[in-house]
């Protein structure tokens, strides 16, 4: 005989005790009736933490189908509740599917929408289900990266206290010192060990001599932009943190951005350009012109 679990508004409110919304918000989002489900799921059944997704799963997904089994049912409700209460954490792709309202987090709002959808109480709130065999690209990895850098704009992600920035022969606070340390911190790439030397303006050509494949004209995530200066012959280098493949937005960081090592407080802070044209304009504002890009992981 099938066992049936009833989920009431009181259950949702209990789950919401450690989530983002207040009880008032939850009451507004959930119904006071009990919703019955035909799934064979016990209220006390344990659900193991999800493993990493497969290659096939990376290219398919339905909002609300948290465990990606092709169905939106009470199992997805329970897994979402477990994530909210910290009982069992979801992986990146499951989190994307559990974020029903696309606000970048999984909380009681998503849980209540799932409950309504599974119960059939409100079709307008039911997560969209694709036609059979329809492919849905999961943007979670891209979205996660974008969110990290978007939220970090104006703050520093680099850890200047780590050994990556303890560089003999490279003056602390200079742009070259920073880009060497950042590449080592993020990629494990030790550019000086590969033979990179000289002032910033020489980096493109010096890297090209080391390995022609380590330079180019395409801006990419985790590369170094080499710039010539309108006011001096030393040049400047900027670390390209991330390039959003969807919007073209560029997140970057640098040191000694105004020259003469007078602005240490701004060193390493994440900056944003909405496009490559915007990035060039921002460099021009600093009296700089991009020359090319060095790819530290190819040296």
Maximum C-alpha span of the chain: 82
Helix (H, G, I), strand (E, B) or coil at 8: coil
**Which DSSP letter does residue 286 get?**
T
Choose the weakest-confidence range: 25-29, 239-243, 277-281.
25-29
For each of the domains in the chain, give its residue range(s) and CATH number, in order of start.
6-138 (1.10.1330.10), 151-298 (3.90.1720.10)
C-alpha distance from residue 269 to each of 141, 160, 257, 272, 296 (Å): 23, 12, 10, 10, 20
Q: Please state the separation of Cα 20 from the chain's center in Å.
A: 21
Q: Which SS3 state, helix, strand or coil, does residue 121 take?
A: coil
Joined tokens for residue 4: 């049936």
35 bridge partner residues: 7
The most confident of the ranges 128-142, 151-165, 248-262 is 151-165
- Contact assessment for residue 229 and residue 236, using Cβ atoms and an 8 Å cutoff: yes
Q: In this predicted model, what pLDDT tens digit does every residue of 79-99 receive, in sequence order? A: 888 888 777 788 888 888 888
| Per-chain mean pLDDT for the chain | 76
Q: In the numeric block, which tokens belong to residue 290?
A: 């991009």
The residue that leads in pLDDT, 136 or 273, is: 273
The set of residues, in sequence order, having a beta carbon less than 8 Å from that of 262 and lying 6+ positions away, is none
Task: For residues 147-155, give the mean pLDDT.
Answer: 93
Residue 129 has pLDDT above 50, yes or no: no
Full-model pTM = 0.54
């Amino acid at each position: 005989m099938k066992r049936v679990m009833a989920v009431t508004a009181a259950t949702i409110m209990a789950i919401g005790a450690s989530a983002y919304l207040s009880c008032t918000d939850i009451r507004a989002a959930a119904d006071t009736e009990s919703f019955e489900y035909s799934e064979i799921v016990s209220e006390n059944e344990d659900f193991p933490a999800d493993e990493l997704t497969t290659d096939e799963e990376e290219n398919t997904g339905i909002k609300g189908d948290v465990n990606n089994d092709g169905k939106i049912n009470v199992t997805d409700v329970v897994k979402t509740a477990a994530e909210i209460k910290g009982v069992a954490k979801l992986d990146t792709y499951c989190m994307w599917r559990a974020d029903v309202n696309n606000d970048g987090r999984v909380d009681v709002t998503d849980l209540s929408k799932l409950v309504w959808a599974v119960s059939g109480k409100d079709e307008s709130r039911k997560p969209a289900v694709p036609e059979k065999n329809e492919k849905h690209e999961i943007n979670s990895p891209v979205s996660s990266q974008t969110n990290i850098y978007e939220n970090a704009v104006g703050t520093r992600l680099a850890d200047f206290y780590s050994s990556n920035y303890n560089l003999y022969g490279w003056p602390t606070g200079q742009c070259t010192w920073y880009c060497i340390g950042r590449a080592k911190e993020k990629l494990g790439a030790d550019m000086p060990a590969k033979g990179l030397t000289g002032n910033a303006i020489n980096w493109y050509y010096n890297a090209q001599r080391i390995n022609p494949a380590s330079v180019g004209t395409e801006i990419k995530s985790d590369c170094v932009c080499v710039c010539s200066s309108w006011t001096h012959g030393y040049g400047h280098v900027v670390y390209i943190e991330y390039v959003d493949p969807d919007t073209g937005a560029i997140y970057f960081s640098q040191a000694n951005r105004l020259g003469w090592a007078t602005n240490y407080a701004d060193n390493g802070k994440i900056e944003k350009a909405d496009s490559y044209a915007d990035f060039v304009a921002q460099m021009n504002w600093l009296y700089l012109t991009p020359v090319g890009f060095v790819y530290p992981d190819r040296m």
